[in-house]
Amino acid sequence: MNTTSGNIIHTGTPSRSALRVATLRAVHRLLDEPVIFDDPIALPILGSEMSATISDDPFRFNDPMSRGLRATLIARSKFAEEEMHKAVQAGVRQYVVLGAGLDTFAFRNTHADEGLHVYEVDHPSTQDWKKVLLHEAGIPVPKSMSFVAIDFETKTLREGLREAGFQADQPAYFSWLGVAVYLTQEAIFETLRFVASLPKGSAITFDYSLDRALLNPIERAISEYMGQLIASQGEPWISFFDPASLKEELGKMGYDSIEDLGPDELNPRYFSRRKDGLRTGGGVRLMCAKK
Protein backbone atom coordinates (compact mmCIF):
# COMPACT_ATOMS: atom_id res chain seq x y z
CA MET A 1 0.00 0.00 0.00
CA ASN A 2 2.05 2.91 -1.26
CA THR A 3 1.28 6.55 -0.59
CA THR A 4 2.62 9.85 -1.75
CA SER A 5 5.47 11.55 0.06
CA GLY A 6 3.38 14.60 0.90
CA ASN A 7 0.73 12.56 2.64
CA ILE A 8 0.39 12.45 6.43
CA ILE A 9 -0.54 8.77 6.16
CA HIS A 10 2.89 8.21 4.63
CA THR A 11 4.86 10.29 7.13
CA GLY A 12 3.15 8.79 10.13
CA THR A 13 2.09 12.01 11.83
CA PRO A 14 -1.09 11.37 13.88
CA SER A 15 -3.80 11.94 11.33
CA ARG A 16 -6.03 14.99 11.46
CA SER A 17 -8.64 12.98 9.60
CA ALA A 18 -8.68 10.35 12.38
CA LEU A 19 -9.24 13.09 14.93
CA ARG A 20 -11.94 14.67 12.79
CA VAL A 21 -13.80 11.37 12.39
CA ALA A 22 -13.74 10.62 16.12
CA THR A 23 -14.92 14.14 16.90
CA LEU A 24 -17.91 13.87 14.58
CA ARG A 25 -18.80 10.45 15.97
CA ALA A 26 -18.86 11.98 19.44
CA VAL A 27 -20.94 14.94 18.24
CA HIS A 28 -23.45 12.54 16.68
CA ARG A 29 -24.10 11.00 20.08
CA LEU A 30 -24.55 14.41 21.68
CA LEU A 31 -26.69 16.16 19.07
CA ASP A 32 -28.54 13.80 16.78
CA GLU A 33 -31.84 12.10 17.61
CA PRO A 34 -32.31 9.27 17.11
CA VAL A 35 -28.70 8.12 17.34
CA ILE A 36 -27.83 5.89 14.38
CA PHE A 37 -24.35 4.77 15.39
CA ASP A 38 -24.01 4.62 19.16
CA ASP A 39 -20.32 4.79 20.07
CA PRO A 40 -19.93 5.47 23.81
CA ILE A 41 -16.13 5.49 23.52
CA ALA A 42 -15.89 8.12 20.76
CA LEU A 43 -15.88 10.98 23.27
CA PRO A 44 -13.62 9.66 26.07
CA ILE A 45 -10.95 8.42 23.65
CA LEU A 46 -10.38 12.04 22.62
CA GLY A 47 -9.04 12.93 26.07
CA SER A 48 -10.48 15.05 28.86
CA GLU A 49 -9.66 18.44 27.31
CA MET A 50 -11.08 17.71 23.88
CA SER A 51 -14.06 15.87 25.37
CA ALA A 52 -14.88 18.89 27.52
CA THR A 53 -14.60 21.23 24.54
CA ILE A 54 -17.01 19.11 22.50
CA SER A 55 -19.45 18.52 25.35
CA ASP A 56 -19.57 22.20 26.29
CA ASP A 57 -20.58 23.29 22.79
CA PRO A 58 -21.27 20.47 20.31
CA PHE A 59 -23.21 22.91 18.11
CA ARG A 60 -19.93 24.43 16.92
CA PHE A 61 -19.62 21.23 14.85
CA ASN A 62 -23.14 21.48 13.43
CA ASP A 63 -22.78 23.75 10.40
CA PRO A 64 -24.34 22.34 7.19
CA MET A 65 -21.04 21.02 5.82
CA SER A 66 -20.12 19.31 9.10
CA ARG A 67 -23.62 17.85 9.33
CA GLY A 68 -23.33 16.32 5.86
CA LEU A 69 -19.89 14.92 6.63
CA ARG A 70 -21.18 13.55 9.93
CA ALA A 71 -24.00 11.75 8.15
CA THR A 72 -21.53 10.15 5.75
CA LEU A 73 -19.27 9.01 8.59
CA ILE A 74 -22.16 7.63 10.61
CA ALA A 75 -23.68 5.77 7.66
CA ARG A 76 -20.42 4.13 6.63
CA SER A 77 -19.57 3.08 10.20
CA LYS A 78 -23.06 1.69 10.78
CA PHE A 79 -23.07 -0.23 7.51
CA ALA A 80 -19.55 -1.61 7.99
CA GLU A 81 -20.37 -2.95 11.44
CA GLU A 82 -23.68 -4.40 10.26
CA GLU A 83 -21.77 -6.33 7.61
CA MET A 84 -19.24 -7.40 10.23
CA HIS A 85 -22.04 -8.81 12.39
CA LYS A 86 -23.31 -10.77 9.36
CA ALA A 87 -19.82 -12.14 8.75
CA VAL A 88 -19.56 -13.31 12.35
CA GLN A 89 -22.94 -15.02 12.08
CA ALA A 90 -21.57 -16.82 9.01
CA GLY A 91 -18.57 -18.08 10.99
CA VAL A 92 -15.89 -15.43 10.45
CA ARG A 93 -13.69 -14.90 13.50
CA GLN A 94 -11.15 -12.38 12.19
CA TYR A 95 -11.97 -8.69 11.82
CA VAL A 96 -9.33 -6.39 10.32
CA VAL A 97 -9.72 -2.62 10.61
CA LEU A 98 -7.47 -1.01 8.00
CA GLY A 99 -6.35 2.53 8.75
CA ALA A 100 -8.05 2.16 12.13
CA GLY A 101 -7.30 5.65 13.41
CA LEU A 102 -9.44 6.14 16.52
CA ASP A 103 -11.93 3.39 15.66
CA THR A 104 -13.33 1.90 18.87
CA PHE A 105 -14.99 -1.40 17.96
CA ALA A 106 -12.14 -3.45 19.44
CA PHE A 107 -12.97 -1.91 22.83
CA ARG A 108 -16.70 -2.65 22.60
CA ASN A 109 -16.45 -6.01 20.84
CA THR A 110 -19.82 -7.68 21.30
CA HIS A 111 -18.49 -10.90 19.75
CA ALA A 112 -15.41 -11.37 21.91
CA ASP A 113 -16.97 -14.34 23.72
CA GLU A 114 -17.60 -15.96 20.32
CA GLY A 115 -13.91 -15.73 19.50
CA LEU A 116 -13.86 -12.69 17.22
CA HIS A 117 -10.36 -11.22 17.16
CA VAL A 118 -9.86 -7.66 15.96
CA TYR A 119 -6.69 -6.57 14.18
CA GLU A 120 -6.17 -2.81 14.02
CA VAL A 121 -3.80 -1.86 11.19
CA ASP A 122 -2.21 1.58 11.08
CA HIS A 123 1.08 3.44 10.87
CA PRO A 124 3.29 2.92 13.97
CA SER A 125 3.21 6.55 15.09
CA THR A 126 -0.56 6.77 14.67
CA GLN A 127 -0.96 3.68 16.83
CA ASP A 128 1.43 5.07 19.43
CA TRP A 129 -0.71 8.20 19.58
CA LYS A 130 -3.85 6.10 20.00
CA LYS A 131 -2.27 4.03 22.78
CA VAL A 132 -1.47 7.22 24.68
CA LEU A 133 -5.08 8.40 24.33
CA LEU A 134 -6.39 5.01 25.49
CA HIS A 135 -4.09 5.06 28.52
CA GLU A 136 -5.06 8.61 29.45
CA ALA A 137 -8.75 7.73 29.12
CA GLY A 138 -8.37 4.59 31.23
CA ILE A 139 -9.62 2.37 28.42
CA PRO A 140 -8.05 -1.11 28.73
CA VAL A 141 -6.80 -3.01 25.69
CA PRO A 142 -8.67 -6.34 25.52
CA LYS A 143 -7.04 -9.67 24.74
CA SER A 144 -9.41 -9.99 21.79
CA MET A 145 -7.53 -7.36 19.78
CA SER A 146 -4.07 -6.83 18.32
CA PHE A 147 -2.38 -3.65 17.20
CA VAL A 148 -0.73 -4.22 13.82
CA ALA A 149 1.71 -1.38 13.25
CA ILE A 150 2.85 -1.33 9.63
CA ASP A 151 5.11 1.09 7.84
CA PHE A 152 4.14 0.23 4.28
CA GLU A 153 7.51 1.45 3.03
CA THR A 154 9.13 -1.60 4.63
CA LYS A 155 6.39 -4.19 5.19
CA THR A 156 3.37 -5.50 3.31
CA LEU A 157 -0.11 -5.93 4.76
CA ARG A 158 0.21 -9.70 4.42
CA GLU A 159 3.50 -9.72 6.34
CA GLY A 160 2.26 -7.44 9.10
CA LEU A 161 -0.92 -9.42 9.66
CA ARG A 162 0.95 -12.73 9.66
CA GLU A 163 3.35 -11.47 12.32
CA ALA A 164 0.36 -10.42 14.44
CA GLY A 165 -1.15 -13.91 14.33
CA PHE A 166 -3.63 -13.44 11.50
CA GLN A 167 -4.55 -16.76 9.88
CA ALA A 168 -4.55 -16.39 6.11
CA ASP A 169 -6.09 -19.85 5.72
CA GLN A 170 -9.24 -18.67 7.50
CA PRO A 171 -11.83 -16.16 6.22
CA ALA A 172 -11.77 -12.59 7.49
CA TYR A 173 -13.87 -9.46 7.35
CA PHE A 174 -12.17 -6.13 6.61
CA SER A 175 -13.37 -2.57 7.06
CA TRP A 176 -11.45 0.18 5.29
CA LEU A 177 -13.09 3.53 5.89
CA GLY A 178 -11.86 7.01 5.09
CA VAL A 179 -8.58 5.78 3.62
CA ALA A 180 -8.89 4.95 -0.09
CA VAL A 181 -9.18 8.56 -1.23
CA TYR A 182 -5.68 9.24 0.12
CA LEU A 183 -4.06 6.37 -1.81
CA THR A 184 -3.15 5.68 -5.41
CA GLN A 185 -5.40 3.34 -7.39
CA GLU A 186 -2.51 0.88 -7.58
CA ALA A 187 -2.25 0.77 -3.78
CA ILE A 188 -6.03 0.41 -3.42
CA PHE A 189 -6.19 -2.48 -5.86
CA GLU A 190 -3.22 -4.16 -4.17
CA THR A 191 -5.12 -4.27 -0.88
CA LEU A 192 -8.35 -5.43 -2.55
CA ARG A 193 -6.46 -8.22 -4.31
CA PHE A 194 -4.99 -9.34 -0.99
CA VAL A 195 -8.45 -9.66 0.55
CA ALA A 196 -9.64 -11.47 -2.58
CA SER A 197 -6.83 -14.00 -2.11
CA LEU A 198 -8.26 -15.10 1.25
CA PRO A 199 -10.66 -18.05 1.69
CA LYS A 200 -14.31 -17.98 0.66
CA GLY A 201 -16.41 -16.08 3.17
CA SER A 202 -13.96 -13.18 3.33
CA ALA A 203 -15.28 -9.69 2.64
CA ILE A 204 -14.32 -6.03 2.71
CA THR A 205 -16.35 -2.87 3.20
CA PHE A 206 -14.73 0.34 2.03
CA ASP A 207 -15.70 3.81 0.96
CA TYR A 208 -14.49 5.66 -2.10
CA SER A 209 -14.85 9.11 -3.61
CA LEU A 210 -16.95 9.42 -6.74
CA ASP A 211 -15.37 10.77 -9.91
CA ARG A 212 -16.17 14.48 -9.77
CA ALA A 213 -17.37 14.42 -13.37
CA LEU A 214 -20.31 12.33 -12.12
CA LEU A 215 -21.35 14.81 -9.41
CA ASN A 216 -23.94 17.53 -9.79
CA PRO A 217 -22.58 21.11 -9.75
CA ILE A 218 -23.25 21.71 -6.05
CA GLU A 219 -21.72 18.41 -4.94
CA ARG A 220 -18.76 18.98 -7.25
CA ALA A 221 -18.12 22.41 -5.72
CA ILE A 222 -18.32 20.95 -2.20
CA SER A 223 -15.95 18.13 -3.12
CA GLU A 224 -13.45 20.54 -4.65
CA TYR A 225 -13.62 22.86 -1.63
CA MET A 226 -13.18 20.02 0.85
CA GLY A 227 -10.36 18.53 -1.21
CA GLN A 228 -8.46 21.82 -1.18
CA LEU A 229 -9.03 22.22 2.56
CA ILE A 230 -7.81 18.72 3.39
CA ALA A 231 -4.82 19.06 1.07
CA SER A 232 -3.78 22.24 2.87
CA GLN A 233 -3.62 20.15 6.06
CA GLY A 234 -1.24 17.65 4.48
CA GLU A 235 -3.70 14.93 3.48
CA PRO A 236 -4.44 15.38 -0.24
CA TRP A 237 -7.19 13.39 -1.91
CA ILE A 238 -5.74 11.29 -4.72
CA SER A 239 -8.16 8.67 -6.04
CA PHE A 240 -11.67 8.98 -7.46
CA PHE A 241 -13.72 6.25 -9.13
CA ASP A 242 -16.56 5.53 -11.48
CA PRO A 243 -18.76 2.92 -9.72
CA ALA A 244 -19.26 0.71 -12.78
CA SER A 245 -15.53 0.56 -13.53
CA LEU A 246 -14.69 -0.17 -9.90
CA LYS A 247 -17.23 -3.00 -9.73
CA GLU A 248 -15.77 -4.45 -12.91
CA GLU A 249 -12.27 -4.44 -11.40
CA LEU A 250 -13.52 -6.15 -8.24
CA GLY A 251 -15.22 -8.81 -10.32
CA LYS A 252 -11.94 -9.52 -12.10
CA MET A 253 -10.28 -9.98 -8.70
CA GLY A 254 -12.66 -12.79 -7.84
CA TYR A 255 -15.32 -11.15 -5.68
CA ASP A 256 -18.68 -12.89 -6.13
CA SER A 257 -20.99 -10.35 -4.50
CA ILE A 258 -20.50 -6.60 -4.81
CA GLU A 259 -22.89 -4.11 -3.22
CA ASP A 260 -22.52 -0.42 -4.04
CA LEU A 261 -24.38 2.16 -1.96
CA GLY A 262 -24.84 5.90 -2.38
CA PRO A 263 -27.32 8.43 -0.99
CA ASP A 264 -30.27 6.79 -2.75
CA GLU A 265 -29.65 3.65 -0.70
CA LEU A 266 -28.15 5.08 2.50
CA ASN A 267 -30.58 7.90 3.24
CA PRO A 268 -33.75 5.74 3.20
CA ARG A 269 -31.96 3.08 5.24
CA TYR A 270 -30.52 5.30 7.97
CA PHE A 271 -31.91 8.84 7.76
CA SER A 272 -35.58 8.64 6.79
CA ARG A 273 -38.20 10.71 8.66
CA ARG A 274 -35.64 12.72 10.65
CA LYS A 275 -36.32 16.22 11.95
CA ASP A 276 -32.65 17.25 12.10
CA GLY A 277 -31.97 17.10 8.36
CA LEU A 278 -29.15 14.59 8.75
CA ARG A 279 -28.51 13.18 5.27
CA THR A 280 -25.53 11.92 3.32
CA GLY A 281 -24.50 13.47 0.00
CA GLY A 282 -23.30 11.94 -3.24
CA GLY A 283 -19.55 12.55 -3.11
CA VAL A 284 -18.69 9.38 -1.19
CA ARG A 285 -20.05 5.88 -1.80
CA LEU A 286 -19.72 2.54 -0.01
CA MET A 287 -18.87 -0.87 -1.42
CA CYS A 288 -19.05 -4.25 0.22
CA ALA A 289 -17.27 -6.96 -1.77
CA LYS A 290 -17.58 -10.59 -0.72
CA LYS A 291 -15.85 -13.81 -1.76
Q: Per-residue pLDDT for 268 more than 90?
A: yes
**Residue 201 and residue 90 in contact, taking contact as beta carbons nearer than 8 Å:** yes
* Residue 144 lies inside a defined structural domain of this protein: yes
Separation CA 101–CA 121 (nearest Å): 9
Q: Per-residue pLDDT for 228 more than 90?
A: no
Average pLDDT of the segment spanning 199-226 = 89
Structural domain including 247 reads 8-290
* Residue 1 lies inside a defined structural domain of this protein: no
Give me the percent of the chain exceeding a pLDDT of 90.
78
What pLDDT sits at residue 8?
Answer: 38
* Residue 258 lies inside a defined structural domain of this protein: yes
Q: DSSP letter string over 134-175?
A: HHHHT-PPPTTEEEEE--TTT--HHHHHHHTT--TTS--EEE
pTM: 0.91
* Residue 18 lies inside a defined structural domain of this protein: yes
List beta partners, residue 244.
Answer: none
What pLDDT sits at residue 59?
Answer: 93
> Is residue 141 exposed (0-12), middle (13-18) or buried (19+ Cβ within 10 Å)?
middle
What pLDDT sits at residue 42?
Answer: 95
Alpha carbon of residue 182 to chain centroid: 12
Q: Per-residue pLDDT for 6 more than 70?
A: no
Q: Per-residue pLDDT for 272 more than 80?
A: yes
Pairing label, strands 203-209, 284-290: antiparallel
Count of structural domains, the chain:
1
* Residue 3 lies inside a defined structural domain of this protein: no
Q: Name 46's Cβ contacts closer than 8 Å, sequence gap at least 6.
A: 19, 22, 23, 26, 54, 102, 133
Band (11; pLDDT cuts 50, 70, 90): very low
What pLDDT sits at residue 223?
Answer: 81
Q: Per-residue pLDDT for 113 more than 90?
A: yes
Band (14; pLDDT cuts 50, 70, 90): low
* Residue 65 lies inside a defined structural domain of this protein: yes
What pLDDT sits at residue 199?
Answer: 98
Looking at every residue in the chain, the average pLDDT score rounds to 91
List beta partners, residue 97.
Answer: 120, 175
* Residue 198 lies inside a defined structural domain of this protein: yes
If you average pLDDT over each of 1-10, 18-27, 92-101, 152-161, which comes out highest?
92-101
Give me the percent of the chain exceeding a pLDDT of 70.
95
| pLDDT tens sequence across 37-48 | 999 999 999 999
* Residue 122 lies inside a defined structural domain of this protein: yes
CATH at 240: 3.40.50.150
Q: Per-residue pLDDT for 1 more than 60?
A: no
Average pLDDT of the segment spanning 128-156 = 94
